[in-house]
Amino acid sequence: MIRSDNRLTKVLEVIHSNPGIQFRDLMKQTGMKNGALSHYVNKIESNGMIQVERSPRQTKFFPLHIKDSDQKIISALRKETPKKIILHLMSEGDEGAEFSIIPIKIGKSPSTVSLYLSQLVDDEIVSIRLDNKRKKYFVKNRKTVDGLIDSYHPGLVSSAADSFADTFNSL
């Protein structure tokens, strides 16, 4: 019974320190096998101790205190290209950035940037404003994004699987 409680506590600790963590990363950080981790995750979820976001290609785990709007930001910051876009727009401040500059600054193709930028706008993380008849992109709530980066750095802002996951998420 003690071993079970230790494993349960370990899973909860990893999720709390890494909001938005995916199952495979949770498996690596806890050192548990797929079946054992599935058991503990299901137990924790059924007891209402975590939030689980399921999509066709991935499952993400969040502590209960993370708001839905913050979950979207955290999820975006855990992927390479959206993270680069957000960080670039944050560095531009109130000036914002025109689309044509963003692919150059982050080193991605315009089509890739367009795909992720559209998703960031849909998720209400990024907004668009007209400035002298030109579209400029801005981080919608800089204070919230700054707070999330500060709270969960470095795990949130740098993920080992960024490039690999980003490639498959764009397919």
CA 169 from chain center: how many Å? 12
pLDDT 10s digits, 69-92? 999 999 999 999 999 999 999 999
pLDDT 10s digits, 89-116? 999 988 899 999 999 999 999 999 999 9
| Whether 60 contacts 22, CB under 8 Å | yes
Task: Indicate if the pLDDT at residue 163 is higher than 50.
Answer: no
How many structural domains does the chain have? 2
On whether both 41 and 77 belong to a single domain, the answer is no
Other Cβ atoms closer than 10 A to 86: 24
On whether both 95 and 55 belong to a single domain, the answer is no
pLDDT 10s digits, 2-14? 456 889 999 999 9
On whether both 81 and 27 belong to a single domain, the answer is no
On whether both 84 and 40 belong to a single domain, the answer is no
The mean pLDDT of 131-154, rounded to a whole number, is: 88
Task: Indicate if the pLDDT at residue 132 is higher than 90.
Answer: no
Q: Is residue 154 part of a domain?
A: no
Task: Indicate if the pLDDT at residue 170 is higher than 50.
Answer: no
> 48 lies in which domain range?
1-66
On whether both 3 and 53 belong to a single domain, the answer is yes
Other Cβ atoms closer than 10 A to 13: 12
User: Which CATH number does the domain housing residue 123 bear?
Assistant: 1.10.10.10
